[in-house]
Structures are given as C-alpha cells and as structure tokens.
Amino acid sequence: MSLLPPPRRPIALLTVFFLLILNLASSNPSDANYAVNELKQLSDSDVYTTLELATMLSSSTTQGSFNTITKMQLELSSPHFKSKSSTESFTVLVLTSLSNPDQKSFAIDKFPEMDPDAVEKFWIDKARRLRDEREVLHGELRSKASFVLETHSAYVQSASDFQTNDGRPLNSLSNAELLNIIDSSRGKGERAAVAKAVLNENYLLSSKTFREASLEDLLNMRSDPKVDPIRRTVAGRLYNEKLLELAGGNDEKEL
C-alpha cells in the first residue's frame, strides 16, 4: 500500500482559478476609459484625440486612506506615434475618492510622443477651425447688431406716431413720463417698445460721456464694431451735430 500523499493538482488548479478571478475583479474598464478620455484633452494641438485604448494589459487596486488607487498597464493605439508603432504601452494610475466615487484623477508615467509632422498638421487644422468658428460668430453678431439697430431706429422714428391722451408724441415726453408708459403697460406691446427706445436714446444723448466726447472720440465710437449698435448710432448723431455746430461757427466768423 502506497504511503504517498494524494496529488495536489486540484488544489493548484483552484488556486490559479482564484487568482484569475481576483485579477478580473481588480481590472476596471471604466477607469481605463476615464484615463484615456482625460489624456485626449491634454494636447494643445488636439493630436491626442487620436489616442484609443487598445487593451488593458494588467490592473491592480490598492485601498488608500482617501482614495482607491487603480494601477493599470494600458496599450494605446494611434496612427501618429513618433515611434511609427501602431501601439505603445503606458503605466497609468487612477485615483477614485472614497467619499465621492465620481471624483477621479489620473497620472501617467510618460506622455505619448507624437510625430512632429502630425502635430503641425493638427495645429494648422485647429487654427483653421477656430478661424471659421470666429467668422460664423462674428457674422451672427453683425446680423444681431444690425437687427437691433434697425429695430431701435424704427421705433425712434415712429415715436411721433404714438401719442398720449392729450395729443403729445412720445418723443416729446420727459423720461419720467416715458417710464410711466413702460410701467403701466408692464413693458409689453409696441407702445412700450417705442417708449423704451426713446428713453434709451435720451439717456445716451444726455450722458456726460457722450456730451464731453471729442469729435475724434465720437468718430471712433461710431466706427467701432465692438460698441453697442445703439450707442454707435447716438455717437454718429452727436458727431454730425458737432460738425454742423463747427460749420455754423465758422460761417459766422467769416460773415
């Protein structure tokens, strides 16, 4: 009868199986995706946006005092690595707050080195894209400014068509009377809109900034597209008035 101990192969297989289960449990694809998504945003030229997660080579988790620390070996892919390789391996740490699991941060052992020609191309493409976006935005602003100016001018010009009960046109009223019209109609309706336009222009025309401005200041204000369109209109009116005053004064001197 043999006195040898029974074979331990089943125990060894169970141990390997248990270790595999632990390794799978410690790997967290969401942490890997989080790290890659954050990394994509860290290049000024946007060349990192071409980085993709190819595979998670290994992963382990450590419990700290304030964070859960996940250490991963990630293989990333990109067509623009400086090494000309299609994939490269990086060690990444992801820290997840114990008090707030949605609060994460990450660290990487080295940043991917990208092909200089690709970086330059991405810079050029980004500059063109930003330029196009600015042109669209400026076009929208110009269109909006034009609409505001046309609406304001139309309301001011039609002020004489709107009269009070005693027959006075809105453009002859005091600011207090205009405010009363706006308040009584709760700021709604065309009558209130006309009163607002006249009131706005009255305030601007009586403004010390406008009245004491030189011809050069008024001209600059009238021509500056960054200035509110209504203020530009008022500046233009005052500019023309001052020119007429100067012309009238010169005529009197000649006489």
- Whether the Cβ atoms of residue 124 and residue 92 lie closer than 8 Å to each other: no
Pair 80, 160 in one domain? no
Question: Is residue 142 situated within a structural domain?
Answer: yes
Contact 76, 110 (CB under 8 A): no
d(CA 53, CA 76): 5
Q: Could you give the number of structural domains in the chain?
A: 2
180 and 65 in a common domain:
no
Domain span at residue 73?
9-114
Question: Residue 143 class from Cβ within 10 Å (0-12 exposed, 13-18 middle, 19+ buried)?
Answer: exposed
**pTM of this prediction?**
0.48
Domain membership of residue 4 (yes or no) is no
Boundary of a domain, candidates 114, 136, 170: 114
pLDDT at 208: 65
State residue 157's pLDDT score: 63
Mean pLDDT taken over the chain: 76
pLDDT in tens, 43-92: 999 999 999 999 999 999 998 889 999 999 999 999 999 999 999 999 99
Q: Which of 20, 31, 38, 82 is nearest to 56 (CA)?
A: 31
Read off the CATH number of the domain in which 86 is found: 3.10.450
- In tens, the pLDDT along 79-130 reads 999 999 999 999 999 999 999 988 999 999 999 999 999 999 999 998 888 8
**In Å, what is the CA distance from 42 to each residue of 49, 111, 192?**
9, 9, 52
Cα gap 158→166, rounded to integer Å? 18
User: Is the same domain home to 103 and 176?
Assistant: no
Mean pLDDT score, 222-243: 74
pLDDT (tens digit per residue) in 129-162: 888 888 777 666 566 555 555 565 666 666 666 7
